[in-house]
Amino acid sequence: MSGSRQRLHSEIYIGLMSGTSLDGIDAALVDFRGRRRLLGTLFAPYPRRLKAALLALQVPSRNELHRASLVGIRLSILYAGVVNRLLQRSGVGSYRVRAIGCHGQTVRHAPGFRYTMQLGSPAVLAERAGIPVVADFRSADIAVGGQGAPLVPAFHAAVFRNARVHRVIVNLGGIANLTDLPRRGPVTGFDTGPGNILLDAWVRYRLGRDFDRSGAIASRGQPLESLLDDLLADSYFRRPPPKSTGRDHFNLAWLRRFAVARRRTEDVQATLSELSARTIGRAIARFCPGAREVYLCGGGARNSDLVRRITRALPDGTAVASTAKLGIHPDWVEAIAFAWLAQRRLRNETGSLPEVTGAEKARVLGAIYAA
Ligand SMILES: Nc1ncnc2c1ncn2[C@@H]1O[C@H](COP(=O)(O)OP(=O)(O)OP(=O)(O)O)[C@@H](O)[C@H]1O
Ligand SMILES: [Mg+2]
């Protein structure tokens, strides 16, 4: 069978996720035929200079269109390198991969202005990898009045829902988002607010570190109750869903408005950890009443201080575990979700849930770039 014929018979997809934390690229190689099988995974941290360039592009600055385009190409070359390494390691030929679902790197998320922007040139990636690429997953939902986010709840529903128990999935990325999976009835979900983003920003600002490993710094501090009250007063937390947010709103500049300069590093860190935990806890209590099980995924699931605080912030009797208990390691849920969304696109099936994003209707998500 020729390479292109083999591809058409394959249900192997690659998901590439690079989230708001700007930590790097998560890649998952998944075979969806029969029982879903994870054939390989890879995490590639962003090189320092690329991360700095991406951070600089999060705010308006000089000649940004040109700079964004150049960074987009650099990103795609990096994505292609990740794909090739992943395939090599897993012993899978590129001709066996049906498509790559590539989220791209968000530099603006402004559904209120009817746009969202992810960098990365899918054409360059398709060419270099020799595999079709599905990209720009969010625009179609925004075009019908949705938030364009979160997009993972449809995947969470497909793989984690159980008719006998009310579950909630919480992704602890830069931004935290939840999916409510009641035993029956509509699936909902939204961004609760900051996950790791402020924790990362604060230790970077104070200590020059990328993140607070296991939450060790936060666990040495005492939450500052009056600061916490001020942070919790942000109107985003009061807004009812559908809602989504990003670095555009929650960032170091936002935090520095709250007179944190003279506070101890570890106390502010503990306060930020408490902020993420309480906003998640409150969101679950208010919008997912009766949930019995909460499953965590994303990089924040490795932050034991944060996990402890989330557990405390949840209604009594709620069981907390990582998605590993449901068969998917917490590091790879999002990347697998974008492989799955690429499959939905190729099948012309919808990928968005209007109850989640607030759109008028469900849409087939993503644009296809041929190899
Ligand atoms: N060992 C660890 N201890 C504490 N925090 C960690 C650890 N490992 C990762 N993290 C946190 O997780 C973050 C990365 O998480 P992840 O990749 O899930 O987020 P993301 O890239 O923003 O993704 P998305 O926006 O799609 O959810 C890091 O920036 C860091 O804050
Ligand atoms: Mg990441």
Q: Which atom of ligand 1 is nearest to the CA of 212?
A: 4
Q: Which atom of ligand 1 is nearest to the CA of 200?
A: 31
- Residues 98, 13 contacting (CB under 8 angstroms): yes
- Residues 29, 39 contacting (CB under 8 angstroms): yes
- In this structure, the strands spanning 175-181 and 115-119 are unpaired
Q: Residue 270 belongs to what H/E stretch? A: helix 265-287
Q: Does ligand 1 come within 6 angstroms of the Cβ of 196?
A: yes
The upper half-sphere exposure of residue 279, i.e. CA atoms within 13 Å in the direction of its Cβ, equals 29
Cβ atoms within 10 Å of 269's Cβ, excluding its own: 27
325 phi/psi in degrees, rounded to 5: -65, -25
- Residues 174, 191 contacting (CB under 8 angstroms): no
Closest CA to 266 of 209, 208, 214, 216: 216
Owner of token pair 């997809």: 13
Q: Does ligand 1 come within 6 angstroms of the Cβ of 302?
A: yes
Give me the pLDDT at residue 150, please. Answer: 97
Q: Compute, in angstroms, the gap from residue 318 CA to the centroid of ligand 1.
A: 24
Q: Does ligand 1 come within 6 angstroms of the Cβ of 334?
A: yes
Residues 6+ apart with CB under 8 A from 103: 16, 17, 18, 19, 118, 135, 137, 338
Residue nearest to atom 5 of ligand 1 (CA): 303
Closest CA to 187 of 161, 149, 205: 161
Q: Is the peptide bond before 150 cis (omega within 30 degrees of 0)?
A: yes
Q: Does ligand 1 come within 6 angstroms of the Cβ of 256?
A: no
- Residues 126, 76 contacting (CB under 8 angstroms): no
DSSP H helices in 19-115 = 48-56, 64-90
The answer to whether the Cα torsion of 234, 236, 237, 239 is positive or negative is: positive
Give me the pLDDT at residue 5, please. Answer: 80
Tens-digit pLDDT string for the chain (371 aa): 677 788 988 999 999 999 999 999 999 999 999 999 999 999 999 999 999 999 999 999 999 999 999 999 999 999 999 999 999 999 999 999 999 999 999 999 999 999 999 999 999 999 999 999 999 999 999 999 999 999 999 999 999 999 999 999 999 999 999 999 999 999 999 999 999 999 999 999 999 999 999 999 999 999 999 999 999 999 999 999 999 999 999 999 999 999 999 999 999 999 999 999 999 999 999 999 999 999 999 999 999 999 999 999 999 999 999 999 999 999 999 999 999 999 999 999 999 999 999 999 999 999 999 99
- Residues 154, 352 contacting (CB under 8 angstroms): yes
Give the span between the Cα atoms of 288 and 186, in whole angstroms. Answer: 12
Give the span between the Cα atoms of 31 and 369, in whole angstroms. Answer: 21
Pocket test for ligand 1, best of 20, 75, 252, 303 (most atoms within 8 A of CB): 303
Owner of token pair 């890649």: 27
Give the span between the Cα atoms of 1 and 120, in whole angstroms. Answer: 33
Give the span between the Cα atoms of 362 and 339, in whole angstroms. Answer: 19
Give the span between the Cα atoms of 21 and 349, in whole angstroms. Answer: 29
Q: Is the peptide bond before 242 cis (omega within 30 degrees of 0)?
A: yes
Give the span between the Cα atoms of 224 and 272, in whole angstroms. Answer: 9
Label residue 166 exposed, middle or buried (CB < 10 Å: 0-12, 13-18, 19+): middle
CB-based burial, 289-310: b 16+ in 10 Å, e otherwise: eebebbbbbbbbbbbebbbbbb
Give me the pLDDT at residue 142, please. Answer: 98
The DSSP secondary-structure symbol of 240 reads P
Give me the pLDDT at residue 1, please. Answer: 65
3-state class (DSSP) for residue 258 = coil
Q: Compute, in angstroms, the gap from residue 82 CA to the centroid of ligand 2.
A: 14
The DSSP secondary-structure symbol of 113 reads G
